[in-house]
Amino acid sequence: MVQRIADLDIPRRLSGVLPAWATKIGCAILGVGLAVVLRLIVDHVTPGAGAAPYAFVYPAALLATLLGGWQSGVGTLLATEWLAWIFVVPKSGPGGTHTDFQAAAAILVGVTVIAVIAVGEAFRVAAQRIVTERNAKLAERELLFRELQHRVNNDFTIVNSLLDLQRRKSADAETRGALEQAMGRIRSVARVHHHLYVVPDIGAIDLKQYLTDLCGALAQAAFPPAGLSLRCHCEEAFMPRSRAIAVGLVTNELVTNAVKHAFPGGREGVIDVRFQRTETGWALSVRDDGVGLSLSPPKSGLGTSLVEEFARQAGGTLSVERDGGTVVRLVLAASAATAGGKDALKP
């Protein structure tokens, strides 16, 4: 409400187009026009009534004040009261003149309308001050948030570099694999923070850009063996950052697991990542053309537990099937993501 009142400041909004005095006069004319239109409507409904001749001076002066300031309000007051005095107030005095009582009533109306104008001007100035202060605080918070995200991204880089250094020094293959998985998870989280840093709306993530960027990073990672290719197709969608993080981590885990288990013995193949709309919502699928699922019950390892936990955080359900390889799907409800352009980011 306060924001809307502040946005009614016509002279400020048109400062680069018209001079302030012209917009203030225009606001006064608009107020007078409102009073005249309302009076004509009343006279049409009750012709010749002449009741409450100054009734519409109040809303007209208040509107002009909110739009153009107290100068427009005073101009509206003078014009509308003069028009009411000439055309509406009945001449009941001797010789067809106005009585002293009618003159006193006009003065009283003028005083009370001035009070209304003063209240409207005070409210208008207060609304503008509140909005200005709020915008300044929001700008400061935005700057601090950007600075925080920049520092967090730097921290991710440092941690990833330390893990990579430790991986290179390690002679144990299992230790190197664990460190590579940890590096992949850190990169996935870092991708989300990167998009938080560059996207104006900090409340949502462009999932198409995020997953495409993430798949590019996974394809360039050191651990995938030669002969494997990673494809990514993602429809345009926006998702709250908490869910986007979870979807990114699920993608990272599934791709990593496919690289590690689906292509033994240096086998070549393709891993296909897709995020697309379905009849009931959205679905993330990671498909490989590797050896497929084992007939024995799967082991409940750390990777499996992480995928299940990330899927729960994303608000989706997991399903696994064998189709010339392995297909893992994360099905999300329609409310999890929003399709569309920049407007879809708005609440």
Q: Which residues of 233-258 are buried (b: 16+ CB within 10 A; e: fewer)?
A: ebebbbbbbebbbbbbbbbbbbbbbb
Q: What does the alpha-carbon distance between residue 347 and residue 341 come to, in Å, rounded to a whole number? A: 13
* 231 bridge partner residues: 272
Angle at which helices 57-68 and 100-169 cross, to 10°: 40
CA distances from 270 to 11, 173, 181, 260 (A): 62, 24, 20, 13
pLDDT tens by residue, 322-334: 877 889 999 998 7
280 Cβ partners below 8 Å, 6+ apart?
331, 333, 334
Classify burial at 303, counting beta carbons within 10 Å of its beta carbon; exposed 0-12, middle 13-18, buried 19 or more.
middle
Looking at the chain, the whole-number percentage of residues with pLDDT higher than 90 is 23
Question: Is 331:281 a contact under the CB 8 Å cutoff?
Answer: yes
Rounded CA gap, 43 and 24, in Å?
29
Residues 274 and 269: their CA atoms lie apart, in Å, by 17
| Residue reference for tokens 């601090």 | 144
Same domain, 219 and 116: no
**pLDDT at residue 98 in the model:** 77
pTM equals 0.50
Q: Which two tokens stand for residue 126?
A: 């207060």
Whether residues 233 and 126 share a domain: the answer is no
Reduce the DSSP state of residue 92 to 3 states and report it: coil
* pLDDT in the model for residue 32: 94
3-state SS string for 155-177 = HHHHHHHHHHHHHHHCCCHHHHH
Q: Are 223 and 333 in the same domain?
A: yes
Under a CB-based contact definition with an 8 Å cutoff, are residues 114 and 106 in contact?
no
Same structural domain for residues 225 and 338? yes
Q: Any idea what the CATH number is for the domain that residue 292 is in?
A: 3.30.565.10
Whole-angstrom Cα distance, residue 151 to residue 144?
11
Whether 226 maps to a domain, the answer reads yes
Do 210 and 340 belong together in one domain?
A: yes
One domain for residues 111 and 227: no
Q: How many helices (H) and strands (E) does the chain have?
A: 10, 8
Residue 341, pLDDT score:
47
HEC states along 261-273?
HCCHHHCCEEEEE
Last residue of a domain, one of 134, 156, 187: 134
Domain boundary (115, 134, 153) is at 134
Q: Sign (positive/negative) of CA torsion 168, 174, 180, 182?
A: negative
Q: Which of 89, 112, 134 represents a domain boundary (last residue)?
A: 134
Residue 194 pLDDT:
66
pLDDT at 197: 58
Give domain status of residue 175, yes or no: no
Reading the chain (347 residues) residue by residue, the pLDDT tens digits are 656 666 778 888 888 788 998 999 999 999 999 999 988 888 888 765 556 788 899 999 999 998 999 999 999 999 999 998 888 887 776 767 778 888 898 999 999 999 999 999 998 888 888 888 888 887 887 788 778 777 887 888 898 898 889 888 888 888 888 888 788 778 766 765 665 555 555 567 788 888 888 888 777 664 555 678 889 999 998 888 778 888 888 888 888 888 878 888 778 888 999 999 988 889 999 999 888 765 444 455 556 777 888 888 888 898 888 877 889 999 998 766 666 544 443 33
Distance CA 161, CA 159 (A): 5
CA distance linking residue 326 with residue 289, whole number of Å: 7
- Number of structural domains (the chain) is 2
Distance CA 111, CA 93 (A): 23
> Tokens 């994303």 appear where?
314
Expressed as residue numbers, the domain containing 211 is: 203-345
DSSP character for 301? -
Domain identity same for 224 and 130: no
pLDDT at position 150: 76
Do both 222 and 318 map to the same domain? yes
Residues 226 and 119 in one domain: no
Each residue's pLDDT tens digit, 201-221: 556 778 888 888 888 877 766
